[in-house]
Amino acid sequence: MGNKKIGGFGIEIKKLYKIFGPNGADCVKLIEQGVTKTELNAKHGHVLGLKDINIFMPAGGIQVIMGLSGSGKSTLIRHINRLIDPTSGEVVIGDEDVVKMDAEQLREFRRHQTAMVFQKFALLPHRTVLENTLYGLEIQGAPRNRQVDCAMRWIERVGLKGFESKYPNQLSGGMQQRVGLARALANDAPILLMDEAFSALDPLIRVDMQTVLLDLQKEIKKTIVFITHDLDEALRLGDRIAILRDGEVVQQGTGQDIVMNPADDYIASFVREVNRGRVIKVETVATAPNGSSRELNISVQAGATLEEAARAMTLAGASEITVVDGDGQAIGVLTLPQAVDAMVNAQVACSTSDAKKVA
């Protein structure tokens, strides 16, 4: 593989199983035959970590893996860089199956293709911010001047210029996590793995770090796999979301898909208190354009949320707004009552979406 960048091809996980125990491979058939996680542990002394995981993670997007403690989400992310070996299945990136890599290929893959940001920061306490940030480049054997130049650029990008000579114990938790993010970005790996990266932060700092990540992603467009147990965080960050329970994918899709069409009661319990106005897109609820749409004075881009459209209508004192595409062409009309109904009533949003009134 060498140093070939393969992250641009996305990540495809196929039929992935992980069963912890001495005879895991023999237990895959038991699971396929219907043995439950509880039965596997009680009768066979093995623990089901992951069951038949099939997820395609598009290149250049943020794939969120969400679930409660013990759902298998951290186990799953560690299969991507093979910190954990699967019992069976494939992890395909480009035309390479990570599962089949030998020791040297795997070492090169980890050095050049992936970078990881951890929940507990994982900074080296005896190294400064600068030395922590350039650590990956040092491991790669990059020239010292390149190490420093690259590290300083990312230190500045994450808002830590002036702190490069400080040590981790001189920084707040949020600042330490910015160092962890800068270190991962300095590696210039196409795949960024983030395991509960913001979970240890206070709520306001956590939101701030989400903003930092989203702003950076507009430029870097890396393939990011982000693990969280928090639905609000998943909905804010994820281009796509996969929800795990007991090692199995319960539902996957866009945030809007999951909020509007929960697969079962388990997912419905997650999304019940979600602010739909911040998730549902205007084109989902808008009706087809008509003659009056040309007379409307205000418009909103497709992709905007219902909350953004409702705010624009309220400020303008209007009861309708035109939904336009990237070229400014009208593709629909949204009324204030429609927006409000969809924000508070899931059935309204679902039935409107199913009708597919807006192309």
pLDDT at 348: 47
pLDDT band of 139, cuts 50, 70, 90: confident
pTM: 0.86
Q: Which residues pair with 240 in a beta bridge?
A: 63
pLDDT band of 345, cuts 50, 70, 90: confident
Q: Which residues pair with 315 in a beta bridge?
A: none
Where along the chain do its domains lie?
A: 56-271, 276-355
Residue 328 pLDDT exceeds 50: yes
pLDDT at 291: 61
For 276-355, the fitting CATH number among 3.30.160.250, 3.10.580.10, 3.30.2080.10, 3.10.20.30 is 3.10.580.10
**Residue range 41-56, pLDDT digits in tens:** 999 999 999 999 999 9
**Across 130-148, average pLDDT:** 92
pLDDT band of 296, cuts 50, 70, 90: low
**Across 150-178, average pLDDT:** 93
CA 224 → CA 115, 159, 195, distances in Å? 10, 21, 11
**Across 60-84, average pLDDT:** 94
Residue 8 pLDDT exceeds 70: no
pLDDT at 59: 94
Could you tell me which of 93, 106, 110 has the C-alpha nearest to residue 12?
93
Residue 292 pLDDT exceeds 60: no
Q: Are 121 and 176 in contact (CB under 8 A)?
A: yes
**Residue range 85-127, pLDDT digits in tens:** 999 999 999 889 999 999 999 999 998 899 988 877 789 999 9
pLDDT at 357: 46
Interatomic CA distance for residues 139 and 147, integer angstroms: 10
The 3-class secondary structure across the chain, one letter per residue, is CCCCCCHHHCEEEEEEEEEECCCHHHHHHHHHCCCCHHHHHHHHCCEEEEEEEEEEECCCCEEEEECCCCCCHHHHHHHHCCCCCCCEEEEEECCEEHHHCCHHHHHHHHHHCEEEECCCCCCCCCCCHHHHHCHHHHHHCCCHHHHHHHHHHHHHHCCCCCCCCCCHHHCCHHHHHHHHHHHHHHCCCCEEEEECCCCCCCHHHHHHHHHHHHHHHHHHCCEEEEEECCHHHHHHHCCEEEEEECCEEEEEECHHHHHHCCCCHHHHHHHCCCCHHHCCEHHHHCECCCHHHHHCCCEEECCCEHHHHHHHHHHHCCCEEEEECCCCCEEEEEEHHHHHHHHHCHHHHHHHHHHCCCC
pLDDT at 39: 94
pLDDT at 354: 46
pLDDT at 344: 83
pLDDT at 273: 84
According to CATH, the topology of domain 56-271 is: Rossmann fold (3.40.50)
Cβ contacts of residue 231 below 8 Å, gap of 6+? 66, 270, 271, 274
pLDDT at 2: 46
Interatomic CA distance for residues 169 and 163, integer angstroms: 12
pLDDT at 211: 94
Interatomic CA distance for residues 171 and 253, integer angstroms: 38
Q: Which of 85-99, 222-236, 248-262, 333-347 has the lowest mean pLDDT?
A: 333-347
Could you tell me which of 77, 74, 25, 67 has the C-alpha nearest to residue 46?
25
Which is more confident, 267 or 119? 267
pLDDT at 6: 56
pLDDT at 168: 93
Mean pLDDT of the chain: 89
